[in-house]
């Protein structure tokens, strides 16, 4: 874990603020290595590396990092896991899908930091991005909600599509049909490649315009958009 942090260098945003002046954007990081829920994960590392001993201290550290945002910038929060308060059903964006009855598996420190920032500052927080909670639910119970719009229009986005890379096989003699993962071709495969998942966010002047889950095929040096699922678009309601 420490090697990962060192390798990222200045790009590591855990408990930090990374500014993009040309975009008037600041990315503020949540608690590194979160495992969700109300317990600190890798507590010894958090204590030694960041001086964080408990959830309250973690919330204050996230809050303090955001206060370093330059004037005129908007904030995108980037965290491993999402905040509490977004639902407790198994298919909610941070809902527990592996236990009977579900439950809220969000991070209370992230929720507290965001709440305090909204109450005590005028910082613009249009988007909170995270992962950890896989889109495909446990025990083949379907898919979870991957986006939530808060009452104050902050958007919470889960990007945990797993697996993110799948094998791609084009059927021999065709160029229009592709097979992914466990599907079986009737003829020997002509080309092999991969399809890769990306969650694309489009913004304009600090306002979110469009969010989409996309699958891009990569075959040799050729890439192509295979699928696009729009999660959010300005002026439209979020598709159910």
Beta-strand pair 74-78/124-130: parallel
Secondary element (H or E) of residue 116: helix 108-120
Tell me if 65 sits within 8 A of 15, measured CB to CB: yes
User: What is the crossing angle of helices 108-120 and 55-67, to 10°?
Assistant: 40
Q: Residue length, the chain?
A: 240
Q: HSE, CB side, 13 Å, CA atoms: give it for residue 26.
A: 20
- Residue 25: count of CB within 10 angstroms of its CB: 18
Residues 44-101 pLDDT 10s: 889 988 999 999 999 999 999 999 999 999 999 999 999 999 999 999 999 999 999 9
Query: Comparing C-alpha atoms, which of 95, 159, 98 is closest to residue 128?
Result: 159
Per-chain mean pLDDT for the chain: 88
Q: Where are the beta strands (DSSP E) in the chain?
A: 17-20, 25-29, 74-78, 124-130, 147-149, 155-158, 165-171, 178-180, 189-204, 207-219, 222-233
Query: Comparing C-alpha atoms, which of 8, 53, 7 is closest to residue 31?
Result: 53
Asked if the model's pLDDT at residue 163 lies above 60, the reply is yes
Residues 175-232 pLDDT 10s: 334 445 444 333 445 558 999 999 999 999 889 999 999 999 999 999 999 999 999 9
Confidence band (pLDDT; 50, 70, 90) for 172? very low
* Alpha-carbon gap, residue 26 to 17, rounded angstroms: 6
Confidence band (pLDDT; 50, 70, 90) for 3? low
- The backbone torsions φ and ψ at residue 148, rounded to the nearest 5 degrees and listed phi first, read -140, 135
């Amino acid at each position: 874990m420490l090697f990962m942090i060192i390798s990222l260098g200045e790009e590591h945003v855990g408990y930090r603020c990374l500014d993009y002046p040309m975009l008037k954007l600041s990315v503020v990081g949540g608690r590194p290595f979160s495992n969700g829920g109300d317990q600190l994960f890798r507590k010894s590392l958090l204590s030694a590396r960041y001086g964080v001993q408990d959830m309250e201290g973690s919330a204050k550290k996230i809050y303090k990092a955001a206060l370093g945002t330059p004037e005129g910038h908007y904030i995108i929060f980037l965290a491993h896991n999402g905040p509490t308060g977004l639902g407790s059903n198994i298919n909610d964006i941070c809902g527990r899908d592996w236990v009977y009855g579900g439950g809220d598996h969000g991070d209370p420190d992230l929720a507290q930091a965001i709440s305090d920032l909204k109450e005590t500052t005028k910082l613009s927080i249009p988007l909170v991005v995270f992962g950890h909670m896989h889109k495909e639910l446990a025990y083949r119970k379907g898919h979870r909600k991957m986006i939530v719009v808060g009452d104050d229009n902050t958007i919470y986005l889960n990007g945990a599509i797993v697996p993110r890379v799948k094998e791609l096989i084009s059927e021999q003699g065709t160029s229009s049909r592709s097979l992914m993962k466990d599907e079986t071709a009737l003829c020997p495969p002509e080309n092999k490649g991969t399809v890769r998942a990306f969650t694309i966010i489009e913004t304009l002047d600090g306002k979110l315009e469009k969010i989409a889950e996309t699958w891009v095929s990569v075959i040799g040096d050729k890439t192509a958009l295979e699928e696009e699922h729009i999660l959010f678009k300005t002026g439209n309601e979020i598709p159910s």
